[in-house]
């Protein structure tokens, strides 16, 4: 067999193997993207709109710790182009799928000093790790 005839099947096999690999990091920007499926070892970044100047913050109510591992604390960024005091920004959390199973990642948007007051907003995402 000629070299080109050998390379074509090898290249197709390599492309098929690459196509089956999950994305290294999954981006999650809202409940509309839920439920979410992950593979053990895969990372997930969650980004939600936030405005701590109002006294409200996203609090992790249920971290789905049986299937997810937190990769650090919340990181808050305000858009530089806004330039307005009190303007909102984005809160971001990073997680890694640590074990197969199912769970719910739940965050609540409320004032941390008033846990008895009902949250203004709740983020609830079903997660399945394979």
pLDDT (0 to 100) of residue 78: 85
- What confidence tier does 129 reach under pLDDT thresholds 50, 70, 90? very high
Q: For the segment 3-44, what is each residue's pLDDT rounded down to a tens digit?
A: 455 444 544 444 444 444 556 889 988 888 999 999 999 999
DSSP code at position 13: H
The torsion angle over the Cα atoms of residues 30, 124, 36 and 98, rounded to 10 degrees, is 120
Residue among 120, 99, 124 nearest 110 (CA)? 120
Buried b (16+ CB within 10 A) or exposed e, 13-51: eeeeeeeeeeeeebebeeeeeeebebeeebbbebebebb
- Give the pTM: 0.77
Q: For the segment 60-95, what is each residue's pLDDT rounded down to a tens digit?
A: 999 999 999 999 999 999 876 656 767 789 999 999
Q: For the segment 91-114, what is each residue's pLDDT rounded down to a tens digit?
A: 999 999 999 999 999 999 999 999
pLDDT (0 to 100) of residue 30: 85
């Amino acid at each position: 067999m000629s070299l080109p005839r050998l390379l074509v099947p090898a290249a197709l096999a390599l492309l098929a193997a690459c196509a089956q690999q999950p994305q290294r990091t999954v981006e999650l920007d809202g409940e509309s993207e839920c439920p979410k499926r992950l593979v053990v070892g895969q990372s997930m970044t969650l980004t939600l709109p936030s405005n701590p100047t109002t006294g409200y913050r996203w609090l992790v109510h249920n971290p789905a710790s049986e299937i997810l591992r937190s990769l650090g604390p919340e990181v808050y960024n305000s858009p530089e182009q806004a330039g307005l005091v009190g303007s909102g920004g984005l809160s971001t959390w990073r997680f890694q799928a640590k074990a197969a199973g199912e769970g719910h990642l739940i965050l609540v948007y409320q004032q941390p000093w008033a846990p008895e007051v009902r949250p203004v907003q709740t983020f609830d995402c079903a997660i399945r790790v394979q």
